[in-house]
Amino acid sequence: MTEVPHIPAPWDLKGRGYIVLYRFTKDEIAQDPFLSDQFRNNYSGGFGSLMVVDYQDSNAGPYQELLFIPGKFTFTGRKLQHISRIFVSTRESVVNGLRNWAIPKEQAAFHFRPLEKHDEEVRVLRNGDQIFLGRFSTGGPLFPVNTLLFPYRLVQVHTQEKRVYYTRFTGHGWGRLAKVGEIRVKPDEFPALAEKKPLLAIAVQPFAIRFPPAVIEELPNGNN
């Protein structure tokens, strides 16, 4: 298999997608099978985020992405977000996501399908099995969307390297309110969101995101 070239940060990405916000309880987080104990036992609340994105342009070329952030976690004395589950459509994004930011991306196939004028279905398949299905409808006026309102300060642990990667990504664009018509997941592949009521859903199009180089530190003792 051809080796994937290193595409270093920063990455500038442009595209469209959906952001769905949730609020979880400690009991719900305790049942999340995709979190390690160092995060599961240090949940600090905040908003959880489901993101479904079609990047039409990036440093690694076009690709699609499905990710989940449960909320904030206390890590080395700070309250930070953590990506617990993420799928992308290309191997270039998988390999460089781990190299640059210790983000544990896995590869899957994505299908964005328009249903009606303002409705869309997104399906994500792995090895031919559907692991996620989302149906979204959008409407209303455009409004500006900016991560200044909901800043994302990520902490990811590279267990093999025993290093911690801190990244603050920024983004801006335009959005419309959206409704989540349906979500289905394969429970052993993605967090159980099918019965969870969202707080807010936004369709963002267009938008731009910048992922800067991570700040990398040795993993503190007690967090192994």
Structure confidence at residue 151 (pLDDT): 84
- The DSSP result for 139-206, as a single string, is EEEEEEEETTTS-EEEEEEETTTTEEEEEEEEEEEEEEEEEEEEEEE-TTTS---TTPPPSEEEEEEE
In a domain, 5, yes or no: no
User: What tokens does 32 get?
Assistant: 């999340």
In a domain, 121, yes or no: yes
In a domain, 3, yes or no: no
Structure confidence at residue 222 (pLDDT): 58
The pLDDT tens digits for 77-124 are 999 999 999 999 999 999 999 999 999 999 999 999 999 889 999 999
Structure confidence at residue 132 (pLDDT): 98
Distance, CA of 27 to CA of 107 (rounded, Å): 29
Which residue segment(s) compose the domain that 75 sits in?
A: 11-218
In a domain, 184, yes or no: yes
How many independent structural domains does the chain possess?
1
In a domain, 66, yes or no: yes
Structure confidence at residue 224 (pLDDT): 55
Structure confidence at residue 150 (pLDDT): 74
- Spell out, as residue ranges, where the chain has pLDDT lower than 50: none
In this structure, what CATH number is given to the domain that contains residue 139? 2.40.400.10
In a domain, 1, yes or no: no
In a domain, 56, yes or no: yes
Structure confidence at residue 1 (pLDDT): 53
In a domain, 6, yes or no: no
Beta-carbon count within 10 A of 30 CB: 12
